[in-house]
Amino acid sequence: MNQSKYMILGGGMVAGYAAKELVERGMKSGELTILSADNAIPYERPPLSKSFLAGKDDEKSIRINAEEFYGQHGIEVKLSCEVAGVDARQKTVHLQSGEDLGFEKLIVATGAQVKTLTIPGANLGDVYYLRSMEDSKKIRTRAGDAKRAAVIGGGFIAMEVSAVLAQKGIETTMLIREDRIWKQVFTPAMSKFFEDYYSARGVRLVKQTNLTELKGDSAVKSVALEDGRTVGCDMVVAGIGVSPVTEPIANSGMQIANGIVVNEYLETSVPGIHAAGDVANYQDTLFNKRRRVEHWDNAVSQGQYCARALSGERKAFSHVPYFFSDVFDLSYEFWGDPANADQIVERGDLSTSSFSVWWLQQKRVIAAFVMSRPDEERDAATKWIESKQQVSAEKLKGKSSVSDAEESAS
């Protein structure tokens, strides 16, 4: 049986960044094996719903490491290689092909999988989901000659895909179950800003709607809504959320609860096995709660963290949750966790695309949204959330520098 010192189960973003960090830390040739169900070497996923989907980026430009990197550093990447199970006690993985491979240390980074529609007609042609490069290519190809698209969902994937399709000149309708866009994250005023922005760029928004059926012969031709309306379309893209991929480790002995349960060192309940990225339900030491984050920066930071841990470092993982998105000509960023906020402060003008929003809990900053603002606001966001900075809401609302809002703890 082939044996590796280090193994990464999953060849996505965690794997790409962990491999890079291990190499920078002097890992020897032949020590790392990456097992990936995907058919491409690790790539950045955010462009799949932005520049890659729009045709401005290609396969090569979104790779995390160049193709030669893996060969040059003696890293074996097994593509189209699906892991069926992990035997944590024997330290082996069992491949779908029947082969067994051994490891000394393992990082589980299987990511997340898209939730799919279960309504009648969901299996028709031209119904798409977006997780992999292959998915993005299929949507891009279909969008080449589609005239009308229905995008299901009101979160960031649906927002990004709608923006790209609308910019391709496709008549795009967003079908949103909630009463406003990205309700889970945005304040009502922020949702209103984005809804107006989308409407002004030709995207039609149908809110508070439930779908009953996708209709068509072999390919989808329309979406039927609960209120009797139908939305005609040549393609449907559903961005209705993801769930962690835990099936391959189901009988491994690792604790599973909304992902793989890891401690603040990203260690699973089995010694020698870490989990990272979208699949990891970790102990967040900053907010003192369990959290599973489905975002880029988390995958990058946890991949790098695990590489350092394999190299012998042991310091708790501490990280401000972070997310970014690009839609139309806007780019915005979001830090922290607003769940327990008791006050929300807006800065700038929410009728323009330059504003920031700050969530406070007992005057301390716990989350921030920043779009087209001076750099000092971006810099303050992470620093303040990390240090639990107390601020004056009145001063933060004003026009002077954000640093003027800092208060010493009372």
Ligand X SMILES: Cc1cc2nc3c(=O)[nH]c(=O)nc-3n(C[C@H](O)[C@H](O)[C@H](O)COP(=O)(O)OP(=O)(O)OC[C@H]3O[C@@H](n4cnc5c(N)ncnc54)[C@H](O)[C@@H]3O)c2cc1C
| Residue ranges in contact with ligand X by CB under 6 A | 9-14, 35-38, 45-46, 48-49, 82-83, 109-112, 130-131, 157, 245, 248, 277-279, 294-297, 299, 323-325
- Nearest approach, Cβ of residue 299 and ligand X (Å): 3
Q: What is the longest distance spanned by two Cα atoms in the chain?
A: 67
Q: What DSSP character marks residue 38? A: S
List, as one string, the DSSP characters of 208-275.
Answer: S--EEEEEESSBEEEEEETTS-EEE-SEEEE---EEE--GGGTTSS--BSSSEE--TT-B-SSTTEEE
Please report where in the chains the tokens 């260690």 appear, as a residue.
267
Please say which residue, 267 or 406, places its beta carbon nearer to ligand X.
267
Cβ neighbours of residue 294 closer than 8 Å, sequence gap 6 or more:
112, 242, 278
Please say which residue, 164 or 360, places its beta carbon nearer to ligand X.
164
Pairing assessment for the beta strands 112-114 and 330-336 based on DSSP bridges: unpaired
**First vs last Cα of the chain: how many Å apart?**
62
- Nearest approach, Cβ of residue 38 and ligand X (Å): 4
**Both structure tokens of 313:** 């470092």
Please say which residue, 45 or 221, places its beta carbon nearer to ligand X.
45
CA proximity to 151, closest of 140, 142, 159, 143: 159
Strand partners, 308: none
Please say which residue, 279 or 391, places its beta carbon nearer to ligand X.
279
Asked if 50 and 326 count as a contact pair (C-beta separation under 8 A), the reply is yes
Helix (H, G, I), strand (E, B) or coil at 137: helix
E strand or H helix that includes residue 156: helix 156-167
Please say which residue, 136 or 209, places its beta carbon nearer to ligand X.
136
- Nearest approach, Cβ of residue 244 and ligand X (Å): 9
- Nearest approach, Cβ of residue 14 and ligand X (Å): 3
Residue nearest to ligand X (CB): 12
- Nearest approach, Cβ of residue 203 and ligand X (Å): 18
- Nearest approach, Cβ of residue 110 and ligand X (Å): 4
Please say which residue, 273 or 345, places its beta carbon nearer to ligand X.
273
Please say which residue, 214 or 275, places its beta carbon nearer to ligand X.
275
- Nearest approach, Cβ of residue 375 and ligand X (Å): 20
